[in-house]
Structure 1
Amino acid sequence: MYRMVAMDEYAGIEYVKVASKMYTSRWKAELGAGRGRSVMLEPGFGVKVQTNEPPQSLVAPFGAPFENLVIREMFVVVVPVLHMYFTLPPHTRWYCVALSMKDKRIWVLDPTSDEPLSEHGRLISHMLKYLDTLFYSKDESWVKDGLSGGGVDLVSVPPSDDVSSCVVMLAWIKDIVQRNKISPTFQPGAIEDARVSLAVDDILCELNVRRPEVYDLISGRQVRV
């Protein structure tokens, strides 16, 4: 949580991993098990795609959120991607691929790149093959290669540095699911405010089993760790 609210810190893969579980569970609780569901995959999925793991090997660790769903009737499937490039010191940045299942469009948000399709296009094409395998393994009504031929759109966002890329990504993911609509532009507002807003909303989420202790901390009561 500290790395989310500190302006000079990266929000790491562990935060996004927890967020993916929490957001997906929250959307399920709000929308039920029927149509219009959204899923945010854990960031390990993007890592496995980048390291060329066999597509079928990703079904067991990442397929659970799609159980008993008609995937073509979902709203959006979101894939956060941690992009690493090695310099001195090493840096990481986040970008996001979202599949709009209703209109068969692919949306890409990268607040740090002027040409995200040139930079990530090959990986995204590779990722779609992995998602196709995952979808068919969980829903036999899914048409194989059902992701091919769809258009790709870019989300226009204010430029951001690597450190804040995760904040912009998570704020966008929450926004599109809340509004049930993907817009070609997104204004996250001041990054410092966005960090605090995300952190507060996440830590006070009803799915946080330790939420009562947060209120104890706010009120000054002692909390046992």
Structure 2
Amino acid sequence: MESYLRAGVAIYNAGEYHAAHDAWENHWLNLTQGTDDEQFLHGLIQFTAAVYHAHNRNWSGATGLAASATDYLADLSATYRGVDLGSVNRYLVALNNDPERVERQRPLRLAYKGSVVGFGDLDFNETAIAAEVLAEEHGYDEAMVRQAIDFARADLDSEQTASPFVTFLFDFVREPDQRGIILQRLEEHVTRRVHRESDVSGLFDARE
């Protein structure tokens, strides 16, 4: 759960309020309803949705979700799984009372174990989660990104020290202004790897 949690926190802190919930949702859907972990992720998903709607000036949607998120998080400790829920709950109350506050100041940034987590703090597995989420959010080729992640993991497993897949996936997540160019480079490497593996496989095909 920690990898999904940290990836979602970093996505949220980058201002990707809509995308953040995708890092948590699949894990949340597999949890038993009513458990602390389920309530926790459900509350965070509603929290990010409240901020998203406030940013889009949907004031009623923002206040309704802020109230709902508060209910889900109400029975959890002030710090749960490393996330500062005390600050989250205070912000939700303030947002419910005045959703237009998002136009006057930046929304609360989520703290994990005392630090505000950004993309630069994510390890590879967390970055891979973020890469898939961001590819979906911004309409990039999700299948190609997943293929790049598979190649990156294979390189890491074989202790390859300079994997272009690892490098470009980190860059894709960490450099939002360059994502289009980075993805083009990544796709070139994916295509070459696919062709190379296909060529090697073909050596063992039956020949006439």
Q: Same fold (TM over 0.5)?
A: no
Q: Please, what TM-score do these two structures have when normalized by structure 2? A: 0.32
Q: Please, what TM-score do these two structures have when normalized by structure 1? A: 0.31
Q: State which structure, 1 or 2, has the greater radius of gyration over its C-alpha atoms.
A: 2
More strand by proportion, 1 or 2?
A: 1
